[in-house]
Chains A and B, each alone.
Chain A
Amino acid sequence: DIVMTQTPLSLSVTPGQPASISCKSTQSLLHSAGKTYLYWYLQKPGQPPQLLIYEVSNRFSGVPERFSGSGSGTDFTLKISRVEAEDVGVYYCMQSIQLPRTFGQGTKVEIK
């Protein structure tokens, strides 16, 4: 199974400041067809997860521009350029290049 490791596991951020979450996989998520199967989700308190970023760096519909994704192969990063109060929750990375689908442990983001 592909193991997804996120760091840090928690983050306390002042509103308006940037935040960054790392996600590393134990195998490359780059498919031979050229697509990289790495996704980012935010789970707000009491809600199901919501897709933020698909295929490493593509913002999903309605996701604010302050969210960006980058990386390649086994090393990925989610960045929030200026954190807002509504960004609190737990962020997960996930791979879907292989079964079983696997998620990172989650990074809890709170506002200072």
Chain B
Amino acid sequence: EVQLVESGGGLVQPGGSLRLSCAASGFTFNSYWMSWVRQAPGKGLEWVANIKQDGSEKYYVDSVKGRFTVSRDNAKNSLYLQMNSLRAEDTAVYYCASDEAFDIWGQGTMVTVSS
């Protein structure tokens, strides 16, 4: 079964850090660009970042540049999102997804930034 499973979400204070993980199974993970997409409560979808198959290229939405870092470990079939200097506006469900077509999505992990 093709699957993405996110973990690592939780409650964090403004200015804090969190590392999200996404475990892939059932497909050839190292053949895909991968993305993170977030959805604030009651809002639409916002693409956050993506990473090339070999990790050599990474791109970010402007609002997270310099604060978030996307990485992957193909040996572990895993994708990561290191989030630093978190702000209230980063509160959202974070999904990992296969890039370009976004045909594979995880169930999401909730990140709440609040004091």
* Chain A interface category by residue count: 20 to 34
Asked if A67 is at the interface (CB within 8 A of a chain B CB), the reply is no
Checking A47, A49, A60, A99 against B45 with a beta-carbon cut-off of 8 angstroms, the contacting residue is A49
Residue pair B45, A103 in contact (C-beta under 8 Å): yes
Give the shortest distance, in Å, between B27 (CB) and chain A (any CB).
13
Q: Which of B15-23, B70-78, B82-90, B105-113 contacts A (4 or more CB under 8 A)?
A: B105-113
CB-based contact A39/B101 at 8 Å: yes
B44 to chain A, nearest CB (A): 5
**Nearest 9 A/B pairs, CB to CB:** A101-B47, A48-B105, A103-B45, A51-B103, A106-B44, A100-B61, A99-B59, A96-B100, A54-B101
Q: Is A102 an interface residue (CB 8 A)?
A: yes
Q: Are A41 and B102 in contact (CB under 8 A)?
A: yes
- Chain A contact residues, CB within 8 Å of chain B: 37, 39, 41, 43, 47-51, 54, 60, 90, 92, 94, 96, 99-106
Looking at A47, A49, A50, the one whose CB has the most chain B CB atoms below 10 A away is: A49
Whether B46 sits at the interface, judged by CB under 8 Å, is: yes
Interface size class of B (residues with CB under 8 A): 20 to 34
CA of A92 to CA of B61 in the docked complex: distance in angstroms? 19
Query: Contacts A39-B101, A48-B108: A102 and B47 contacting too (C-beta < 8 A)?
Result: yes
B35 A101 Cβ-Cβ under 8 A = yes
Could you say which residues of chain B place their CB within 8 Å of the CB of A100? Answer: 47, 59, 61-62
By a CB distance below 8 angstroms, the chain B residues around A92 are 44-45
Smallest beta-carbon distance A48→chain B, Å: 4
> CB within 8 A of A50: which of B35, B61, B105?
B105
Q: A39-B102, A50-B105, A51-B103 are in contact. List 15 more A-B contacts (CB 8 A).
A: A41-B45, A47-B107, A48-B105, A48-B106, A51-B102, A92-B45, A96-B99, A99-B50, A100-B59, A100-B61, A101-B37, A101-B47, A101-B99, A104-B44, A105-B44
B68 in contact (CB, < 8 A): no
Minimum CB–CB distance from B74 to chain A (whole Å) comes to 22
Most A CB contacts (10 A, CB to CB) among B47, B102, B106, B108 go to B102
B35 in contact with A103 (CB, 8 Å): no
In the assembled complex, which residues on chain A have CB atoms less than 8 Å from the CB atom of B95? Answer: 48-49
